Amino acid sequence: MLEKTGIPTSDDLKAIKPDKERLKKGPVALIECFRKIPCDPCFYSCPFDAIDEFKDINDIPNLDYETCTGCGNCIASCPGLAIFVVDYNKNTLSLPYEFLPVPEKGDLVWGLNRAGKKVKKAEVVRVKDPAKNDKTAVVTIKLPKEYLMEVRNIEVGELNG
Ligand code: SF4
Ligand code: SF4
């Protein structure tokens, strides 16, 4: 399915999801990068060395969940928009966002699933859009737990008139 639609299968996702114990400890990155492509900025973006150094630039990133602090520094570094941070304690999801307008804290947005379908309304709780991110904002939204592994994009505008 991934090859045809770009949407990962549940097996693909199981392979990158930390176990329950790690999820309980706090925020952690999820790297949904499943194709061997010549790309490695995620490795260089991590200040905690939680992503293993690539032996080959085509390698798929390997994240050490215990070392990852969930700081989110890697999110905007990924040209494939494949990195997210989930926090199961605060029920938040941080994601990369490259469209305009960039939402603001307090806005209501639609949470979209990997197929682009609207699945849940969500409140924006934080937006980071520094110049160094080169127009990739990092938007954090609040969601019920059951949507943290489902929502992977947002639609901005419709719910704020
Ligand atoms: S969230 Fe922070 S600590 Fe975790 S992999 Fe990304 S940059 Fe590294
Ligand atoms: S930067 Fe993104 S697309 Fe590139 S290897 Fe890392 S996760 Fe994959």
Task: Show me where the domains of the chain are located.
Answer: 2-160
Ligand 2 contacts CB of residue 96 (under 6 A): no
Contact between 82 and 123 under an 8 Å Cβ cutoff? The reply is no
Closest-CA residue to 96 (of 50, 52, 32): 32
Percent of the chain with pLDDT over 90: 88
Distance from the alpha carbon of residue 48 to the mean position of ligand 1, in angstroms: 7
Structure tokens at 28: 């952690």
Read off the pLDDT of residues 55-103 as tens digits, 9 standing for 90 and up. 999 999 999 999 999 999 999 999 999 999 999 999 999 999 999 999 9
3-state DSSP assignment of residue 116: coil
pLDDT at 125 over 60: yes
Distance from the alpha carbon of residue 75 to the mean position of ligand 1, in angstroms: 8
Nearest residue (CA) to ligand 2, atom 7: 33
Closest-CA residue to 86 (of 98, 72, 73, 74): 72
Please report the pLDDT score of residue 1 as a whole number: 55
Longest dimension (CA), the chain: 49
Please report the pLDDT score of residue 6 as a whole number: 77
- Across residues 5-19, what is the average pLDDT? 89
- Across residues 7-28, what is the average pLDDT? 93
Ligand 1 contacts CB of residue 13 (under 6 A): no
Ligand 1 atom nearest 27 alpha carbon = 1
Ligand 1 contacts CB of residue 63 (under 6 A): yes
- pLDDT band with cut points at 50, 70 and 90 for residue 157: confident
